[in-house]
Structure 1
Amino acid sequence: MTQGLTGRDLQEAARKLKLSQRDISKATGLSVRTINRVFNSDGHLDARQSTLDTIAKVVGLGPAARLHSPDPLLVIDLPPEKLYRARMALPDLYAMLEIASVTRRKSDVVEQMAKINAKRTTSVSLRDNDLYFDWIGDGIRWAGNHVRGARVLDLADPAVARAAAERYWKALIANDPVFQYVRTPLGLEFVALTVPTDDGPERGLVTITSLGRPQF
């Protein structure tokens, strides 16, 4: 339960995770107006408990551990072709799919995606048969953990690290884009498109993410 939390607590937790009110709106399905009202509440939070719990889960202040097992990390593979139907709803992912159809050179893909949405773009290198972050947008939830240059599997959240590593290896092995829907144990929902890049012996990947549940 979120009893005892204030709007300032929730707002500060969101700030630390670099989540804007719009990000939280997309992840929870709540309106920006509702989130803004909760964040700016002075003292007692004037909102339904379910609304407060939903926001708190996304910003990492979710309900205390329950007696039953925590929700699992959910990862669902989606056909990349779905992005052609969702190009208006997911323009950044669609743009990278189009870029990847023209070039797979990592520096070119990263450069073009940085112009489109640098905050949610990640670049990963394959070195010594392992995966390392070499560039990460500051809008990524764990970007503040000094992960540039770190192994993907060394992320603080082991469930997210494993899901990311599996997506990256799948793209590398198949040499094809991988499009996935992810729901974390905290209830954060997002979609990710990962494209393998061809840089000779220095192979790698570029990923773009978008918060919220996709609608096709």
Structure 2
Amino acid sequence: MSNDVDSFDCDATITAIILALEELSLRQQRDAQLEREIGRLESKKYRLETRLEATNIKLQQLRRDAIRQESATLREFKREIALLEQDISKSKDDLRALEHQCSQLEAKCGALEKEKDELHRTADELNRRIEDIKLRDSDTAAKGFELRKLLQEVRFEVAQLEQELCELAEVERHARNRVDWLLSERGRWADGACRLEADNNALRLVSFAGALSCKPFHKVMSIGGLCHNGHWAGL
């Protein structure tokens, strides 16, 4: 009976040992699997850190390049804006001078028109006087000749005044064309200044976005959900 009990205890012990060995084997397999998983995660972490470091270096370089480019572009924009402002100021002065010249030409043209009308009225009056003289006395041919000569002189003066008036009208037309051109140039320069200002604002926005993208590694990992309280998530 004692032998049976001992045999039973021995079998139970062997079974317990076998179960313990199986459990140990399972634990070893589980530990090996965990080690492999940890190694995979460590490798992934290293790759991510390497990529992030390279990205940070690239972002820093891009930020420095953007700052340098922004400074150079801003200087160029300011220089171009200063030149445009100088051109606009000069064009305004030219425009005022041309407007003053146009006013003077218009006043002179008006005076010449009045003088021409007066000469036409004088010529008509002389023609009437000549006709009256012819009808009143045929013996006054000499006076009529003198009057006709005077009339020719008046007509010659009228023709000269008309020629001068035409020349002044041509000068006025060129002046008005110049004024219109200056007005269009001023509008074009103003549009160019607005575009330069818009490009300047866009460049500032790009530089600001590049500065915001440069975050520390632990903040990036925390934001991405890969690290929590110094431990890897899921372990």
Q: TM-score w.r.t. structure 1 length?
A: 0.17
Please say which structure displays the higher CA radius of gyration: 2
More strand per residue: 1 or 2? 1
In proportion to residue count, which structure has more helix? 2
Greater relative contact order structure (CA < 8 Å, 6+ sep): 2
